[in-house]
């Protein structure tokens, strides 16, 4: 299936901006050592799947998912402030299995 250029561009922007928001705005210790590996935005721009990895030795995926759930509103609000779209996509945070092939986890909002 052909990917629309706009959704790919938005995904790249989201990856950069969410990483910056985590670094500068979110103070939740559960999200320390988290790297945004990629973002996939649906062609209809209604869903943004944010893939992450945990680079610390204490990387507990369930703990990180709880951190994302807690910080979700702040991340979405800040993202909406930085990226002007008519409608902000729903954010879904998913552990990136591609890096280690480990367990899977996700949280939908």
Q: What is the pLDDT of residues 50-76, one digit of tens each?
A: 999 988 655 688 999 999 999 999 999
**The predicted structure's pLDDT at residue 100:** 52
Q: What is the pLDDT of residues 13-29, one digit of tens each?
A: 999 999 999 999 998 99
Closest among 44, 43, 33 to 3, alpha carbons compared: 43
Residue spans of the domains in the chain: they are 5-108
pLDDT of 104 > 60? The answer is no
pLDDT of 36 > 90? The answer is yes
**The predicted structure's pLDDT at residue 24:** 94
pLDDT of 102 > 80? The answer is no
**The predicted structure's pLDDT at residue 97:** 81
pLDDT above 70: percentage of residues in the chain: 83
Strands 106-108 and 90-95: antiparallel
**Under CATH, what is the fold of the domain 5-108?**
GMP Synthetase; Chain A, domain 3 (3.30.300)
């Amino acid at each position: 299936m052909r990917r629309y250029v706009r959704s790919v561009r938005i995904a790249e922007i989201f990856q950069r901006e969410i990483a910056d928001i985590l670094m500068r705005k979110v103070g939740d210790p559960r999200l320390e050592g988290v790297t945004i590996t990629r973002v996939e935005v649906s062609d209809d721009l209604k869903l943004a799947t944010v893939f992450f990895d945990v680079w610390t030795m204490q990387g507990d995926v369930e703990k990180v998912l709880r951190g994302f759930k807690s910080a979700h509103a702040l991340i979405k609000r800040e993202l909406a402030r930085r990226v002007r779209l008519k409608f902000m996509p729903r954010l879904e945070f998913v552990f990136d299995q591609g890096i280690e092939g480990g367990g899977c986890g996700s949280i939908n909002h």
